[in-house]
């Protein structure tokens, strides 16, 4: 006898996982709470006596649970947390109810699914984000050195402070500076160099990784796209074919404004906060420098400057960059000036 399909909703937390298992007609087969560990998950999944599909909300802890459960079910989906209005707007809200509602959305085919990158891409993405953390920490120590010097009234050259030779000469020549400040300057310098060394090592490993080397090389054929921009695009986008159009990709990157339309009236708000927060700032920063290297982007920048302010011009360049990179990524060919981007 063919067994019925089970629809399983999982409400994931740091230490526990609430689950609700239903049949297609909504009848609850099983529900409860288990510890968020591989051992407990294996005991739980081993006792399921039929085929099942599952869904869980995207959280910080979703990745390893997704990878562990996927081989044991027919299909496993990840729900977009911002789109789960049935849960966010509930009058009664607890882990059991949340798991049940996820199961209901799954069996009724109303689950707002989000993209889950392959495990190898997520692993490399984690390394890149850690590298970005190292860069931020290095900048903090650099700024701290300048702050310490200003506190004691020491004269220094801000641009040359990054150099080791100038820094050592500065320590020997500055006068009337407390010994504690000298010591903190040395510690800050050591911290800055340590974080810079780590980020360089991580960046070198990423750009030479066999899964990324060719893809990053093709993206860098676009003048104005450097290795950090190319790596960030490749790892944060994942599969470029999941975007149906350039506009879809631009929206994902957060380079368009929020839109509200009612009774025939359309209102545009500020730039959308529903975006990939790791990709958006990298693209904006790249758009500020790209016109210096790319004639086509320079034309876009100048045209938009005549229509609005500098921020509008930067966003226009960033959107154009998205079109270029999406075209290169989908076609898997080097960029040719004048070839344009994918159709919107």
Backbone φ and ψ of 188, nearest 5°: -65, -40
Provide the pLDDT for residue 165: 93
Residues present in the chain in total: 344
pLDDT above 80: residue 92: no
Handedness of CA 96, 100, 101, 102 (dihedral sign): positive
* Res. 268 pLDDT band, cuts 50 70 90: low
**Which ranges constitute the DSSP H helices of 208-339?**
213-219, 227-237, 246-252, 280-289, 295-307, 310-331
Average pLDDT of every residue of the chain:
89
Across the range 330-338, mean pLDDT stands at 87
User: Which residues, 6 or more positions from 106, have their beta carbon under 8 angstroms from its beta carbon?
Assistant: 7, 8, 9, 53, 54, 55, 77
* CATH class of the domain comprising 6-107: alpha beta
pLDDT above 60: residue 199: yes
What are the residue ranges spanned by the domains of the chain? 6-107, 120-207, 221-331
User: Which residues, 6 or more positions from 200, have their beta carbon under 8 angstroms from its beta carbon?
Assistant: none
Q: pLDDT digit string (tens) for 48-79?
A: 999 999 999 998 889 999 999 999 999 999 99
* Res. 271 pLDDT band, cuts 50 70 90: confident
Provide the pLDDT for residue 84: 79
Provide the pLDDT for residue 175: 85
Provide the pLDDT for residue 342: 55
Across the range 126-155, mean pLDDT stands at 94
Written as six digits, the tokens of 82 are 């911002």
pLDDT above 90: residue 126: yes
Provide the pLDDT for residue 87: 63
* Angstrom distances, CA of residue 193 to CA of 6, 47, 164, 172, 174: 55, 53, 9, 20, 22
Provide the pLDDT for residue 257: 75
Measure the CA dihedral 291/292/296/299, to 10°.
70
Greater model confidence, 186 or 340: 186
* Res. 95 pLDDT band, cuts 50 70 90: confident
User: Which residues, 6 or more positions from 331, have their beta carbon under 8 angstroms from its beta carbon?
Assistant: none
Provide the pLDDT for residue 145: 94
How far apart, in whole angstroms, are the C-alpha atoms of residue 30 and residue 96?
11
Percent share of the chain, pLDDT over 70: 92
Provide the pLDDT for residue 39: 95
Across the range 289-317, mean pLDDT stands at 91
Tell me the pTM. Answer: 0.86
* Res. 12 pLDDT band, cuts 50 70 90: very high
């Amino acid at each position: 006898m063919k067994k019925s399909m089970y629809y399983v909703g999982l409400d994931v937390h740091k230490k526990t996982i609430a689950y609700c298992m239903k049949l297609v007609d909504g009848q609850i087969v099983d529900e409860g709470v288990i510890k968020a560990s591989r051992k407990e998950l294996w005991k739980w999944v081993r006792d399921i006596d039929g085929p099942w599909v599952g869904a869980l909300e995207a959280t910080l802890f979703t990745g390893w649970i997704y990878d562990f459960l996927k081989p044991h079910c027919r299909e496993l989906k990840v729900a977009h947390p911002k789109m789960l209005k049935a849960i966010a707007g509930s009058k009664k809200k607890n882990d059991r109810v949340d798991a049940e509602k996820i199961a209901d959305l799954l069996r009724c085919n109303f689950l707002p699914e989000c993209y889950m990158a392959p495990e190898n891409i997520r692993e490399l993405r984690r390394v890149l984000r850690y590298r970005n953390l190292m860069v931020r920490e290095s900048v903090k120590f650099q700024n701290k050195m300048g702050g310490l010097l200003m506190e004691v009234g020491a004269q220094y050259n801000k641009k040359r402070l990054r150099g080791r030779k100038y820094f050592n000469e500065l320590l020997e020549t500055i006068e009337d500076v407390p010994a504690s400040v000298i010591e903190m300057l040395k510690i800050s310098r050591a911290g800055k160099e340590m974080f810079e060394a780590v980020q360089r090592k991580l960046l070198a490993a990423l750009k030479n990784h066999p899964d990324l080397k060719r893809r990053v090389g093709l993206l860098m054929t676009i003048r104005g796209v450097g290795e950090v921009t190319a790596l960030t695009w490749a790892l944060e986008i994942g599969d470029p074919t999941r975007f149906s159009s350039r506009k879809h990709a631009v929206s994902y990157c957060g380079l368009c404004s929020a839109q509200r339309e009612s009774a025939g009236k359309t209102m545009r708000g500020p730039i959308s906060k529903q975006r990939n927060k790791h990709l958006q700032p990298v693209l904006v920063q790249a758009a500020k420098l790209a016109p210096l290297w790319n004639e086509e982007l320079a034309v876009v920048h100048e045209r938009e400057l005549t229509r609005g302010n500098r921020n509008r011009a930067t966003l226009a360049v960033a959107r154009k960059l998205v079109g270029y990179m999406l075209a290169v990524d989908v076609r898997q060919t080097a960029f040719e000036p004048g070839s344009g981007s994918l159709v919107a």
